[in-house]
Structure 1
Amino acid sequence: MNKVSVIIPAYNAEKFIENCIQSIQRQTFQDFEIIAVNDGSKDGTLSVLKKIAKEDARVVIVDQENKGVSAARNAALKQATGKYLTMVDADDDLPENALKSMLDLMQEGVDLVVGSHMQVRIGKKAYLEPNMEFCKAEINDNFRKVDPKIWFPWAKLFRRSVIVENGIAYDTNISFGEDHMFNLAFIKNMTGKIICTDRIVYNYYYLRGGLCAKYYPDMHKLQKYVLNGIISYFDGRENFPEEYLVHYTGCYLLGCFDYYIAWCSRAEAIRKVKESIKVYEDVMIHKTWEEFFPEAQLLCIKNEDYKMLVKEYIKRNPQKTILRKYKRKVRRTLEYLLKIGLKIGVLK
């Protein structure tokens, strides 16, 4: 039996959850169970789920107080009975061949299939993974290729026995990067291959909110938590290759710069950039500073002139900062218009 457990955490997903589940019910592969977790929704999500479950015995509902998406997925993992499992967000959906496309690649000796996805905005844009595979012994040497493929929970098919036998669960201590941490734990404990495919197995609806639409005032600490998770994957700092240390510390720190400058007022961004540097100081080495920071910025850091540092950084990185701020405002406007459109649709 190749039964697939489809896990859907749902919080205030009344407007989208039926479409999501219907896309699974339309799959060309039909041996599945859907475990939908109502995470303390305040709208009609639970009522919609009960209606669907009444008509389809494959739909299992877990109803709990609001505990967050990680706790919701953990609750679903405890209920899962499939040989394989996949994660779907309640505001997204699946192409009709998604499960079959991933199952076709889940052969003996394969533990994880990573598919491609379609990003749905006003139109659609395909994000295709190159067709490749990595056996367990190849992952560490190719970690920078593998790591970006495991940032998200969806568009993946997991061999459930790896999760069960190793007690893998989502980290409820964090609210950003928990998917990455779960997937890191999975590949660390698996013994088989990762298969990546250019087959589209997921439709991600960009304009329906999500984590990227929410501001995290402690993003620098959350990112550092994930960075420590990557270091732990290699069993500690002493086993973490220097080239990876340089790459990840530099990218994560500058990612915090980009994030805060795009989200915050200039004064707040300056304060947050200063905090980020302090948080990352213990993992930064001389080579990282040299590789990621031009001389003018290093001088600002040395003199603790964070106002000038932010000014210099924006000057060199307008697309990652000012343009990103503009794009975020456009996205928020489009999300608002979508929300208004949905409300009008409900009233009709």
Structure 2
Amino acid sequence: MSVNPKPIKKPFISIIIPCYNVAKYIFKGLESISNQSYSSWECIVVNDGSTDNTETEIEKWTKKDKRFQLISQVNKGVSAARNAGLKQAKGDCIYFFDPDDLIVQDCLENLIELFHDNIDVVIGKNAEVYGQTTEINKVFEHGITPLKELKKTNFIELTLFHPILVVCWNNLYNAKFIFSNNLTFKEGIVHEDELWVFETLYLAKNIIFNSDVTYYYNVGNKYSITKNYSFNNLKCYITVLDEIFNNYYLKENKQNKLIIGTYILKLQITITAGFFRFIKKNKKLTYKDEGAMLIKNHLNACYISEYINLNPAKSNQFNIFIRYGGANPEAAFKLIRNTNKKNILKFFETSYLKYTYRNKLT
């Protein structure tokens, strides 16, 4: 007597989309979800207090496809919107998507093929596009061998040698991993992905990278947070650094403290350099002194003195920043910027800065 085999249950994916004033983009974004070759999903679209026609555009999809669900809330920010979606998610996997982007037709199928019950995160490959299109400007290569499951790996250390794009979208997260670790997005800040990515990599045991582009990241939205830098952006970056320092660095053993300290130090330099470059290009802004003091206070409160030797050039940057950053972060930025430059003016500026701050170090 023949027995019909029991069909294998497809993993169910919860797609979470935070929306604020994206009426211009949301139809095409949801259309790329609707067209997925993999059909076992729900899409939770959170309208975060939009003042345009975003909700009307979302309702066009909820009325014709029950897999789309609408949550409406007063404006609380992208972190709160994603957290609201997480509370409603029923999937075996969680996938985040931003409504001004697009995904390829086999995106979910591509990622789910790499998923199994012990995988914590499947990291997808992204491409940069200008506008909501599929015309690729550049591909963000992983830098890590794809299609190979990584186990027994310190993923924070891995990022020191093989940088990983700091975004939550286009990654397929095991829902058990998310909920068993009580992972949520920190509310009330922007650049929340910086903290989310650190925490997920810190906690993950098994990760795998896909090999094909599955996501089109739109850098042409002039209203996006990354296009509108303000003093609040700097405050939020500092908040992320404080969280990593206080909640992870201080509690670790010597070796892991060295790894996390190097991670923090790299991020401190990146944030400091980004702030002073932005100020230099926008000289009419009034918060340079306030921002410099905020960075200085953080560097003295969250002092990192030891690091992993990544390469000679990076070690030189670290040494300069450790020595001068707490006294004057702008001076530290300029000294790092001047490194290996033979311009005579840069030479004299470097000499002056070192002489000025050598007796003022904290």
Normalised by the shorter chain, which TM-score bucket? 0.7 to 0.9
**Residues 3 and 213 from structure 1, CA distance in 2 versus in 1: closer, same or farther, beyond 3 angstroms?**
same
1:32–1:58: 8 Å Cα contact kept in structure 2?
A: yes
Name which of 118, 134, 141 aligns with 1:128.
Answer: 141
Give the equivalent residue in structure 2 for 1:326: none
- Separation in structure 2 between the aligned mates of residue 7 and residue 146 of structure 1, nearest angstrom: 31
Give the equivalent residue in structure 1 for 2:187: 172
**Residues 139 and 253 from structure 1, CA distance in 2 versus in 1: closer, same or farther, beyond 3 angstroms?**
closer
**Residues 240 and 260 from structure 1, CA distance in 2 versus in 1: closer, same or farther, beyond 3 angstroms?**
same
Name which of 222, 239, 263 aligns with 1:248.
Answer: 263
Give TM-score scaled by structure 2 length.
0.75
Name which of 264, 276, 281 aligns with 2:295.
Answer: 276
1:270–1:306: 8 Å Cα contact kept in structure 2?
A: no
Give the equivalent residue in structure 2 for 1:152: 167
2:249–2:261: 8 Å Cα contact kept in structure 1?
A: no
Q: Does 1:212 align with 2:226?
A: yes
- Separation in structure 2 between the aligned mates of residue 187 and residue 257 of structure 1, nearest angstrom: 24
Give TM-score scaled by structure 1 length.
0.78
Question: Which letter maps to 1:88?
Answer: F
**Residues 311 and 102 from structure 1, CA distance in 2 versus in 1: closer, same or farther, beyond 3 angstroms?**
closer
Query: Deviation of residue 317 (structure 1)?
Result: 9.4
Task: Report SS of the residue matched to 1:12.
Answer: coil
Alignment of 1:1-348 (within 5 A): 1=9, 2-121=11-130, 124=136, 125-129=138-142, 130-132=144-146, 133=148, 135=150, 137-139=152-154, 142-144=157-159, 148-149=163-164, 151-176=166-191, 178-191=192-205, 193-209=206-222, 210-231=224-245, 232-233=247-248, 236-239=251-254, 241=256, 243-245=258-260, 247-264=262-279, 265=282, 268-269=287-288, 272-287=291-306, 291-292=316-317, 312=335, 314-316=337-339
Query: Deviation of residue 188 (structure 1)?
Result: 4.5
- Separation in structure 1 between the aligned mates of residue 115 and residue 73 of structure 2, nearest angstrom: 32
Cα deviation code 1:258-279 (max 9, x no counterpart) = 2222222458546533431231
- Separation in structure 2 between the aligned mates of residue 245 and residue 225 of structure 1, nearest angstrom: 16
2:249–2:257: 8 Å Cα contact kept in structure 1?
A: no
**Residues 214 and 139 from structure 1, CA distance in 2 versus in 1: closer, same or farther, beyond 3 angstroms?**
same
Q: Which runs of 5+ in 1 are unaligned?
A: 319-348
**Residues 111 and 88 from structure 1, CA distance in 2 versus in 1: closer, same or farther, beyond 3 angstroms?**
same
- Separation in structure 2 between the aligned mates of residue 257 and residue 141 of structure 1, nearest angstrom: 21
2:46–2:84: 8 Å Cα contact kept in structure 1?
A: yes
CA RMSD between the two structures: 3.3
Deviates more, 1:147-156 or 1:158-167: 147-156
- Separation in structure 1 between the aligned mates of residue 254 and residue 322 of structure 2, nearest angstrom: 28
- Separation in structure 2 between the aligned mates of residue 250 and residue 165 of structure 1, nearest angstrom: 30
Question: Which letter maps to 1:198?
Answer: S
Say how many residue pairs are matched: 314
Query: Deviation of residue 155 (structure 1)?
Result: 1.3
**Residues 251 and 190 from structure 1, CA distance in 2 versus in 1: closer, same or farther, beyond 3 angstroms?**
closer
**Residues 171 and 308 from structure 1, CA distance in 2 versus in 1: closer, same or farther, beyond 3 angstroms?**
closer
Query: Deviation of residue 109 (structure 1)?
Result: 2.0
**Residues 317 and 72 from structure 1, CA distance in 2 versus in 1: closer, same or farther, beyond 3 angstroms?**
farther
Residue identity over aligned pairs, in percent, reads 24
- Separation in structure 2 between the aligned mates of residue 147 and residue 75 of structure 1, nearest angstrom: 32
**Residues 196 and 317 from structure 1, CA distance in 2 versus in 1: closer, same or farther, beyond 3 angstroms?**
farther
- Separation in structure 2 between the aligned mates of residue 61 and residue 109 of structure 1, nearest angstrom: 31
Q: Which runs of 5+ in 2 are unaligned?
A: 1-8, 308-313, 342-362
- Separation in structure 2 between the aligned mates of residue 134 and residue 275 of structure 1, nearest angstrom: 41
Cα deviation code 1:18-72 (max 9, x no counterpart) = 1001101111111111110111100001111111111111110001111111111
Task: Report SS of the residue matched to 1:276.
Answer: helix
**Residues 64 and 100 from structure 1, CA distance in 2 versus in 1: closer, same or farther, beyond 3 angstroms?**
same
- Separation in structure 2 between the aligned mates of residue 218 and residue 180 of structure 1, nearest angstrom: 15
**Residues 10 and 273 from structure 1, CA distance in 2 versus in 1: closer, same or farther, beyond 3 angstroms?**
same
2:96–2:169: 8 Å Cα contact kept in structure 1?
A: yes
Question: Which letter maps to 1:292?
Answer: Q
Structure (1 or 2) with the larger CA radius of gyration: 2
- Separation in structure 1 between the aligned mates of residue 44 and residue 65 of structure 2, nearest angstrom: 12
**Residues 317 and 280 from structure 1, CA distance in 2 versus in 1: closer, same or farther, beyond 3 angstroms?**
farther
1:219–1:256: 8 Å Cα contact kept in structure 2?
A: no
Task: Report SS of the residue matched to 2:120.
Answer: strand
Deviates more, 1:268-277 or 1:158-167: 268-277
Cα deviation code 1:150-169 (max 9, x no counterpart) = 62111100111222333321
Deviates more, 1:140-149 or 1:163-172: 140-149
- Separation in structure 1 between the aligned mates of residue 107 and residue 189 of structure 2, nearest angstrom: 30
- Separation in structure 1 between the aligned mates of residue 89 and residue 324 of structure 2, nearest angstrom: 53
